[in-house]
A and B are shown apart, each in its own frame.
Chain A
Amino acid sequence: QKEVEQNSGPLSVPEGAIASLNCTYSDRVSQSFFWYRQYSGKSPELIMSIYSNGDKEDGRFTAQLNKASQYVSLLIRDSQPSDSATYLCAVIYETGGGNKLTFGTGTQLKVEL
């Protein structure tokens, strides 16, 4: 069973701090990795995709990928109360029939005033 593991949280950070969210995956050959944000009662929204080792920055968000350690992380700088949501890590696993996007159970982030 190919898995994606996340700490469920909640992770609480003060406003303006850096939030660090982590994810590990089980299939070493995976090539595509994603972070989704999901507000309560809403559907997941894609916020970052990363395919190569290293860092990828987009505004206040930085995704980090280390394929050797099978580890993906998301950093949110200058955290705002509006960042309070569940963050889902997703990995594409290749199957005989195609690609299967597999999700972790998500980390709940709370940004406190």
Chain B
Amino acid sequence: KAGVTQTPRYLIKTRGQQVTLSCSPISGHRSVSWYQQTPGQGLQFLFEYFSETQRNKGNFPGRFSGRQFSNSRSEMNVSTLELGDSALYLCASSGGTGATEAFFGQGTRLTVV
């Protein structure tokens, strides 16, 4: 059974640009959550999608957005990149309602220069 797949693995962007990250969950999983991980802040929750609907949102500015498609694949977008957006972005999938174990992808390392 394939795990969670995130693409790309590494990205270098310039301040002011935008970026789109992709996450394909484990087959059959309907919930996808996104996290930002930095050395100083740990794992910070961005948002969660379930059946194409955003169910939860963390305390991030509106520059961070996401969506989920009918096949449960999810994308997150960051517009007007800032240096502080440099981080490891992780996506986790779970079965959703009643199935709470979450499994992470390998992450996308974003560097903003």
Instruction: Give the size of the chain B interface in residues (CB under 8 angstroms).
Output: 23
CB neighbours of A43 from chain B (8 A): 88, 90, 104-107
Are A98 and B50 in contact, with the CB atoms below 8 A? yes
Q: How far is A39 from B59 in the complex, measured between Cα atoms in Å?
A: 26
Q: What number of A-B contacts does a CB cutoff of 8 Å give?
A: 54
Seed contacts A88-B43, A101-B45, A105-B42; 11 additional CB < 8 Å A-B pairs: A36-B104, A42-B106, A45-B104, A46-B102, A49-B101, A92-B100, A98-B48, A98-B56, A101-B102, A103-B43, A106-B42
What chain B residues lie within 8 Å of A104 (beta carbons)? 42
Chain A positions 48-107 with a Cβ under 8 Å from a chain B Cβ: 49, 88, 90, 92, 95, 97-106
B 73-113 binary contact with A (CB < 8 Å = 1; else 0): 00000000000000010101010000011111111000000
The reply to whether B103 and A46 contact each other, CB–CB distance below 8 Å, is yes
Bound: A105/B38 CA distance, A: 10
- CB closest chain-A residue, reference B59: A1
Q: A32-B100, A100-B48 are in contact. Are A44 and B55 (CB under 8 A)?
A: no
A44 and B100 form a contact (CB under 8 A): no
User: B residues engaging A (CB < 8 A)?
Assistant: 31, 33, 35, 42-43, 45, 48, 50, 54-56, 88, 90, 92, 94, 100-107
* A-B CB contact pairs (8 Å), 19 listed: A32-B100, A36-B104, A43-B104, A43-B107, A44-B90, A49-B100, A88-B43, A90-B102, A97-B56, A98-B31, A98-B48, A98-B55, A98-B56, A99-B100, A100-B45, A100-B48, A101-B45, A101-B94, A101-B102
Query: Scoring A residues 23 to 52 as 1 if CB is less than 8 Å from chain B, else 0, what string do you get?
Result: 000000000101010000011111001000
Q: Is the Cβ of A101 less than 8 Å from the Cβ of B33? A: yes
Out of B55, B94, B100, B101, name the residue touching A97 (CB < 8 Å): B55
Query: Residues of B contacting A42 with CB < 8 Å?
Result: 106
Query: Which chain A positions have C-beta within 8 A of B103?
Result: 46
